[in-house]
A and B are shown apart, each in its own frame.
Chain A
């Protein structure tokens, strides 16, 4: 079963869910199979209810590393047809295919799933819309993706990064792994999510990870600051269309790190800042820094319980809310890094660990590639 109607409600809506999260990364950028991540997320089956699951994998399209990989789901042929026409107008489509999947699994209903390896047309040549004129390729991709996701009935772009892809849907994550033939991919970062939504408006696009460019975010929690995070982002031109907390988290990362050049540490301190009591006790310079950070980016503070894992081409960042209302465990073994909702989900993959710890509320776990990925950076 999949739901795919765009909601007609003029107000934004947000779904509410509990979840399991997990991520495995090789810090040397070595690619490995999906076996471990599937085991890890399957071990946390209790934390999801079969109404949503998904994976993000980095380094899976080396042959198209320079191109944006658009994963799109369609409700019907008509929406696919219309969207593909639009893609042809705005993108140079180097390659298109059905996202490989099985027909004999427990996942019996699913949308059309296609992927396109594309490059936005350089501005000036074929760009029909002059408003997009002075934008970078990344910005062009974002604008077009947002346009498809808000303006095209029955079409939804759920992944648009380079050399990475998201695979998600309605079902248990381990079943979706079989459905999407994940055993055929190898990646240097795997992120997984199992979902426990509390409302019935379940649809394929609403599953995690939520992705924008090379950001992929999975998250367990409910953001009580959602209303203001969304409006804060609107100030900077982001339209939240997905009705999920995860979406705002991804946009906040994008705004702070990509557009405002904040470091990952600083971005985490915006989302889960130190308490004023702690700031009060800091040396003057630091006090000014954190006071300024909170005063300026108050609208980006994430309030309420959450543990979130965000992936990007050079690594992962995992973060808890400042009072740690949701679980998060991290571990290291040689050049592997692990984060998951539960320690058992790590131990089942690797029982011998160099170090296991439970990060404090608001303390980010940042794991970066030792060498920047063999992935070209966006111009």
Chain B
């Protein structure tokens, strides 16, 4: 065996004065980083196996554990960082692609942190959400440009009826994460929380498990290039259907769920033989152009008898505004834009870290383009990719999004510590794994409660911020960029975002 020339990334630090050798850590680490020596009656660590997921740290009853980034650093240069060197060595060892997970790990400018919100003073009273109504209800779907009424014997009634819409109690949804990439318990937690909170969750491309059919009215079913689990019943067991063209973490490439991760339950749900690789091609092989997309949109509308809105999800790439415009013209009721920081269960690091554009700019240019073209009413804009808190959400809405999708934030609420090893299938938190020993670590009763807490917390904060701006309905903030100011931004960036600089007045 050739010499392994790089050392562990993390160091497990055990405080021996606190360790009671209970072996909880040994049982909890699926990476076998903790080893009990019965002879010594002591627990030892193998640093090289640790992925810094903090499971053992959280579980240790005496708080004896601590994980550090290894102090051993490559000499390196500003350019040749430790991770750059480590990746080259790894690839020289294996000849493979460097795999990773979660969202982009490069320090590009974060626009959310360069946008400031407004508040009322004197001339316009702020509104106290504890005392006055504060409305976050959001309606997703195609809207007419104008309404027509008829007067039937003195009674005015609607002549224009809306096409199917989704009603959200708060402008947040859970984004697509497939059964396969995450566990059934994770799906149960998401579905139940969405159902109880009055929002929607998304199945991702891996089909819908039979136990979750009861959440139908709060479920968005996804149709992706692999078409896993798609049949007419699947399409109709939903509130909306989402066609996935691209994903922010890996625009332009497909997915690969290895056969080891396709046990019986998943094989049934995905409608593929157990143990076979589940391959999602890079493009849909029946969509090579925008008119092909239109056919699929309408095929789905036909299959669901025009009772469900159809979303189309695209990655935020350079041409996003014209692509989105085409998507609307192809008949989509909502366009989902997934930005540069969007997450994934597995992607080549080079794709994740280098392809696409930030969601902030994408929302701004798509919303502006739709208004320019007079088609803003024809589709909702749903933004996804890296929303970390309620301020990010409210800024996205002020830029022009109707609602946002949460992926990573939802997983973090479920226990994820963003160790970025989803693709190993050994998630110690029971989320990105199918190992029954691990999946039961996520109790959906706890998980759904935590997700609802997150939704509640963010909603309260959004209400506070809205009230501060003197606004009591979320639609009055949507696309209302007058309430945003840019800081530390170039003129061109502000122009694209459509916002003034901090310090500029109305």
Contact = CB atoms under 8 A, between A and B. Distances in A.
Contacts, number: 135
A146 interface: no
A259 B122 CA distance: 36
B479 A299 contact: yes
B247 to A, nearest CB: 29
A239 to B, nearest CB: 13
Given A16-B123, A301-B473, A235 B374 contact: yes
B123 A18 contact: yes
A294 B477 CA distance: 14
Interface stretch (B102-110, B183-191, B444-452, B464-472): B464-472
Q: How extensive is the interface on chain B, given as a class?
A: 35 or more
B149 A262 contact: yes
Counting chain A CB atoms within 10 Å of each CB, the highest count among B141, B147, B371 belongs to B147
A198 to B, nearest CB: 5
A261 B122 CA distance: 37
Interface stretch (B132-140, B308-316, B435-443): B132-140
Interface in A228-276: 228, 230-232, 234-236, 243, 259-263, 266, 273, 275-276
A226 B276 CA distance: 56
B120 interface: yes
A227 B482 contact: yes
B475 A298 contact: yes
A298 B482 CA distance: 17
Contacts of B149: 261-263, 266
Interface string B131-164: 0110101010101111111000000111011100
B368 to A, nearest CB: 9
A260 B483 CA distance: 29
Interface string A271-307: 0010111000000010011011111111101111100
B160 A227 contact: no
A136 interface: no
B158 A14 contact: no
A222 interface: yes
Contacts of B352: none
Given A224-B471, A277-B133, A301-B473, A295 B376 contact: no
Given A13-B505, A236-B374, A304-B476, 12 more contacts: A12-B482, A224-B471, A225-B477, A226-B482, A234-B371, A235-B371, A262-B149, A285-B157, A296-B143, A303-B473, A304-B471, A323-B133
24 contacts: A13-B505, A17-B123, A224-B471, A224-B476, A226-B506, A227-B480, A227-B481, A236-B374, A260-B146, A260-B147, A262-B149, A263-B156, A266-B149, A273-B473, A275-B133, A276-B135, A289-B158, A294-B475, A296-B160, A298-B475, A298-B476, A299-B475, A299-B479, A303-B472
Interface of A: 11-18, 198-199, 221-222, 224-228, 230-232, 234-236, 243, 259-263, 266, 273, 275-277, 285, 288-289, 291-299, 301-305, 322-323, 325
